[in-house]
Structure 1
Amino acid sequence: MTRSVILHQDATFLAQATAARLLMRLHELAQTQNRVDIVLTGGTVGIATLAEMSSSPLRMGVDWTVVHVWWGDERFVASDSPDRNEGQATEALLSQLPIPPGNIHRMASAKGDTTAETGAVAYANELSQAVPGEVTPFFDVLLLGMGPDGHVASLFPEHPTALTSGVVVAVHDSPKPPPTRISLTFDTINRARQVWVVAAGEEKAPAVARALARVDPVATPASAVRGTEKTLWLVDASAAADIVVPPTGQLT
């Protein structure tokens, strides 16, 4: 597994470059696989990346019929709430793509007798059915945003669910509203072939530096995410401001 830090000049260029990178990766994968699984993220840069994908001519080269879309986490609110990552992703990109409806795997919303716990179990079951025989499903590319506190998905620093084992976890009392969420666990995230962490803005700089300096899943959850083949940190200049570069000049 390799880890690389790729620097972009600002948040706008970061979103554009990440969109192009993901579209090219999807195009390559769809040439050799009959199924491609990706995990999307919310957040400012995450949704901006999806919007850039929607306007890129590169999207025409992807065979979207083999692409399956998952989410790293979701806010447990009503299905029509503007807080839903899925709703934002649909508006920014998914509604414009010829993806079969069954290939879009949404996390549960708050309705009826559904709880965050039952929603987590349902998503874990759906994941297990996607790749029969696998204890934990894997993904081809898994996108993650990162908060200023170093959280990824809905795995927050010092939170009881940060080190929960299993596939999917219900999160209560999130320090960031809304308080109830559903999230993939570290066990599931780290089965992805490639994990891409996208971060922009000077407020993210301390957390980026901490995450790259040492692994501490409790204090800085972002430090503990790894792809089985590759981990990319895609950051803008402001978010990279506090990184201490080794004498070799390389970040590995």
Structure 2
Amino acid sequence: MVLTGGSIGTAALQAVVESPAHTAVDWANVHFWWGDERFLRAEDPDRNAVQARAALLDRIAVDPVKIHEFGSKDEFPDEDAAALDYAGQLAAAAKAEREADEDAVQPDPRLPRFDVLLLGVGPDAHVASLFPEMAGIRTRGETTVGVADAPKPPPQRISLTLEAINTAQEVWLSVSGSDKAGAVGLALAGAGHVQVPAAGARGVRKTLWLIDQDAAQKLPGRLIDHEDEDESVG
């Protein structure tokens, strides 16, 4: 499972642990990865991993070895070094997965299987830390990327690339608020992913948009009831 940060992502994790249904999941067998991270000190409260631990991971029976956080400023000199390290973690996990199961299905041999990948969407349509028109969203041939000049603080970040995101079996995009309506409308209307990164996020089997009425204000009416095996809106 690949987690996301932000207010909606954190609220979703809190909702999971508060639901009685969470006890039906064998959390000790779940690997947790992140789609992106802010390049800060390890215990900075603005780090996605710190927020995820408080909201969910410290409150359920997880295997600490299966929690895979991006590196921090305490460990690496810059975001590029942290991104390279995470790519190594991903590759090692993919190799271990193949060794444990020779029939393991991996869309990309550099990456373990991601069953579900969660994303938020910014008002500018960014996903993870892939921002419109910037180097990160244009990156090809890599699984991770360091971001030195993000347009929102902090500017230094680490992210999965769009190529890596799109290896997930299912990609779930959660969006709330009228300030995101334009981004949602453009993404679902088929805009280019360099200009509208959210438009490029797609799961191998399923892409699920979870949006509220405010975020749906600029969604073409013909798409409201659209649902097929590849993409759905709810």
State the TM-score, normalized to the length of structure 2: 0.88
Unaligned runs of 5+ in 1: 1-37
Closer, same or farther: CA 93–247 of 1 in aligned 2, 3 Å: closer
1:58, 1:250 → 2: CA distance?
A: 29
Amino acid at match of 2:153: P
8 Å CA contact retained: 2:17, 2:56:
yes
Amino acid at match of 1:144: L
1:247, 1:49 → 2: CA distance?
A: 25
**Per-residue deviation, 1:218:** 1.2
User: Which SS does the other structure have where 1:231 is aligned?
Assistant: strand
User: Which SS does the other structure have where 2:172 is aligned?
Assistant: strand
**Per-residue deviation, 1:138:** 3.0
Amino acid at match of 2:14: A
8 Å CA contact retained: 1:170, 1:182:
yes
Is 2:144 the counterpart of 1:168?
yes
8 Å CA contact retained: 1:137, 1:191:
no
Which residue of the partner structure matches residue 137 of structure 1? 112
Over the residues paired in the alignment, what is the CA RMSD in angstroms? 1.5
Aligned residue pairs total 215
Amino acid at match of 2:65: G
Which residue of the partner structure matches residue 71 of structure 1? 34
Is 2:221 the counterpart of 1:245?
yes
Match of 1:185 among 148, 152, 161: 161
Unaligned runs of 5+ in 2: 99-108
Q: Once superposed, which parts of structure 1, at least 4 consecutive aligned residues long, lie more than 6 Å away?
A: none
**Per-residue deviation, 1:188:** 0.3
Identity of aligned residues (%): 46
8 Å CA contact retained: 1:200, 1:239:
yes
Which residue of the partner structure matches residue 196 of structure 1? 172
Which residue of the partner structure matches residue 236 of structure 1? 212
Closer, same or farther: CA 63–216 of 1 in aligned 2, 3 Å: same
Cα deviation, 1:27-61, whole Å, max 9, x if unaligned, reads: xxxxxxxxxxx000011111000011111111111
8 Å CA contact retained: 2:146, 2:157:
yes
2:137, 2:168 → 1: CA distance?
A: 18
Which residue of the partner structure matches residue 131 of structure 2? 156
**Per-residue deviation, 1:111:** 1.8
> Pairwise mapping of residues 36-185 of structure 1 onto structure 2 (< 5 A)?
38-111=1-74, 113-132=76-95, 134-165=109-140, 166-185=142-161
Closer, same or farther: CA 190–248 of 1 in aligned 2, 3 Å: closer
Larger RCO (CA under 8 A, 6+ residues apart): 1
